[in-house]
Amino acid sequence: MSFVFVLDTDKRPLNPVHPGWARHLLTQGKAAVWRRYPFTIILKQALPEAQTTPLRIKLDPGSKTTGVAVVNDATGAVVWAAEIAHRGQQVHEGLLTRTASRHSRRARHTRYRPARFDNRRRRAGWLPPSLESRLANVQTWVARLRRFCPVSALSQELVKFDTQLLQDAETSGVDYQQGELAGYEVREYLLEKWRRQCAYCGATNTPLQIEHIVPKARGGSNRVSNLTLACALCNTQKGTQTAQEFGHPIVQQQAKTPLKDAAAVNTTRWALYRRLCATNLPVEVGTGGRTKWNRTQRGLPKAHWLDAACVGASTPTLLTITGVTPLRISATGRESRQMCRMDRYGFPRTSAKGQRRVQGFQTGDLVRAVVTSGKHTGTHVGRVAVRARGFFNITTAQGVVSDIPSRYCQRVQQADGYQYERCYEKGAALPPHA
């Protein structure tokens, strides 16, 4: 069950409660809705003495999507889960557009301007804006969740495989066993080393099997230096031949070269790790191999939020996920830094930007408009785009409804740089007691 976050009247985070209990508190008038997404209620009394159960935020950072799970280590319950969709690609494209317009401006025949190309310095730890935005998304949500529930620890998937375990895997060797933790680490290592493709035919997007270069039937060992990845077809065709006999002497040579350490290091994840450590909470790190092993052991399907729940050695043996629906969060950014639109020659096309707030509303606010007359009669819930003349556009699940007078609109949640998917589901537009 996705639990409901609870704050006391002094905004102290308390234990999350079952949605049924939250509804009871709301109908009894003992609490009010504090925030719609994630659903949080605020009690009308202070509970400074309240006992809280420590929770753990678990993260599986990805380039497009990051899985988040809030887990109660003592009971094994997944209290809350989400998947954050990043906007790295959008940031990247936005910067390309800016570069292009600046270039075109510089190339124009205008007054003399001294060259300015060598006067910029990057601070230590600089990351490209597209990566920076992903990190900022994760940091934002860790900080927010810490305000909504009692968090005592963090877990993050840091690397793909255990570099310690496989430090000199090729030289000294690790014997792998199917289904054991070390087996999963070996598999992740091989996937990285053989670039996630069949070593013989180069096939991708097909299930890959761990394959012995010198077959076991011919005395080949289980050591990593004797292993590669092959698709089912190549594996069968190769049979009891060695890679050399199968016509792939290069595979045989390559197997002996260990994977360079640098190949396995992901700068963004390490940067995130350092920032999480700065929160002063204990940060546990896990490997991708461990995540996959934990997930397989517990018989869970593949999903970003389930991967997050399975990160690290602290994962409870029994993970309860019944009824948990992850919140789909998409980063949308706030406003735009562009001062006005331009034509295709880079000249200003529109007048300068207007006020960002129009009659108390801001683009990105989640609103509910009850229109009583005219073409758009009915109730519309969605993201608003404000217009200076006071007639707004609302993006609902059914599409965009335009020219809704502001007097019909009521704000449900203030724009916070994110969009929440459940607000677009029909019939479940708002949680009970909205």
Query: What residue ranges bind Zn ion (CB under 5 A)?
Result: 198, 200-201, 203, 231, 234
246 vs 424, beta carbon nearer Zn ion: 246
The sign of the torsion formed by the CA atoms of 27, 31, 35, 39 equals negative
- DSSP secondary-structure letter at 313? T
141 vs 194, beta carbon nearer Zn ion: 194
Q: What angle do CA 3, 7, 8 make, to 5 degrees?
A: 140
368-373: long-range contacts at Cβ-Cβ below 8 A with a sequence spacing of 24 or more? 368/409, 368/410, 368/412, 368/429, 368/430, 369/394, 369/401, 369/404, 369/408, 369/409, 369/410, 370/408, 370/410, 371/404, 371/408, 372/408
Omega within 30 of 0 (cis) for the link into 38: yes
Minimum distance of Zn ion from residue 221's CB (angstroms): 22
Relative orientation angle of helices 129-148 and 88-107, to the nearest 10 degrees: 140
Minimum distance of Zn ion from residue 178's CB (angstroms): 20
51 vs 205, beta carbon nearer Zn ion: 205
238 vs 290, beta carbon nearer Zn ion: 238
Minimum distance of Zn ion from residue 235's CB (angstroms): 8
Q: What angle do CA 138, 140, 141 make, to 5 degrees?
A: 65
Minimum distance of Zn ion from residue 231's CB (angstroms): 4
9 vs 237, beta carbon nearer Zn ion: 237
Q: d(Cα 11, Cα 249) in Å, to the nearest integer?
A: 66
Do 369 and 410 contact (CB within 8 A), yes or no?
Answer: yes
Q: How many helices (H) and strands (E) does the chain have?
A: 10, 20
Task: Please name every residue paired with 409 in a beta bridge, in sequence order, or none if there are none.
Answer: 369
Minimum distance of Zn ion from residue 232's CB (angstroms): 8
Relative orientation angle of helices 181-193 and 288-297, to the nearest 10 degrees: 130
Q: Distance from CA of residue 398 to its chain's centroid? A: 26
The sign of the torsion formed by the CA atoms of 112, 113, 118, 119 equals positive
234 vs 366, beta carbon nearer Zn ion: 234
82 vs 198, beta carbon nearer Zn ion: 198
Do 39 and 5 contact (CB within 8 A), yes or no?
Answer: yes
Minimum distance of Zn ion from residue 196's CB (angstroms): 13
Minimum distance of Zn ion from residue 234's CB (angstroms): 3
Task: Please name every residue paired with 384 in a beta bridge, in sequence order, or none if there are none.
Answer: 394
User: In this structure, are strands 151-159 and 55-60 parallel, antiparallel, or unpaired?
Assistant: parallel
232 vs 428, beta carbon nearer Zn ion: 232
Minimum distance of Zn ion from residue 198's CB (angstroms): 3
Minimum distance of Zn ion from residue 200's CB (angstroms): 5
184 vs 194, beta carbon nearer Zn ion: 194
